[in-house]
Amino acid sequence: MSDFLLRLGFHGSKTDTSLFIRHTGRHVCYILIYVNDIIITGSDTDMVTSLRQQLSREFSIKDLGKLHFFLGIEVVPHSRGLVLTQSRYISDLLKRTGMVDCKSVKTPMATSVKLSDSGGALMSDPTTYWSVVGALQYVTLTQLDVSFLVNWVCQFMHAPMEDHWQLVKRILHYLSSTWSHRILIKRSPVHSLQAFSDADWAGDTADRKSIGGFATYLGPNLISWTSRKQRTMARSSTEAEYKALADASAELV
């Protein structure tokens, strides 16, 4: 597939090996490939139609029409653009964990929670923890408000304890009330890039590393975000902020 697209004049994205781009005059065409699932879009309808025909002659493909569902993300047409949601995926996760009718909470965690990887009771069977936390990582594709906490519980995958599992259940309680939250990708003539960053100096009490995060916008649309532990220890709050700023700058580039 890659060789064929390159012959058609596409070039691969430098930051995403699944994305191919072709510029023809004033128009641009994108094709995104994930195993055997493909999204095709572009600024010219005839160009997209021609590409579909070329692909069908070369490969055995099935045209599913307009985009509605891709890798667990539901795409809903909106008068102002497109809405992205994982409500179906989150609903299935709540059913699988028996948390459909659980009591909802307004925040994904309590500010007083301090976790460590020592001093607690290990889970007798960590399989459920691994499975649920793995599923929660995928939820952060549209539910950015749990990014910090999901990154946190991932740090205890090697030896999860009962306290860690209680925090995972708290995330599920929160998702039971926010499963319908969505991201709106709006049409806009503004294509400027903006980023906002922040840092929590020495936020991890176990190793004194800081937590950094950023949110990136293309025009009015939020397109990427992260919340994770910084790779090296910051000696001051100013240094932690600069590290977060450097990560945000690299994302913009």
State the pLDDT at residue 15: 85
**Domain limits of the chain?**
2-65, 85-178, 188-252
pTM of the model: 0.84
State the pLDDT at residue 180: 87
Rounded to whole angstroms, the Cα distance separating 92 from 176 reads: 11
Judged by DSSP in three states, 134 sits in: helix
State the pLDDT at residue 193: 96
Put the strands of the sheet holding 27-34 in their side by side order: 11-12, 19-24, 27-34, 37-42
pLDDT along the chain (253 residues), means of 10: 94 93 95 93 94 94 92 92 94 94 90 74 94 96 92 92 94 94 93 96 88 96 94 95 96 93
State the pLDDT at residue 13: 94
Rounded to whole angstroms, the Cα distance separating 240 from 253 reads: 20
Q: How many CB atoms lie within 10 A of CB 160?
A: 23
State the pLDDT at residue 119: 66
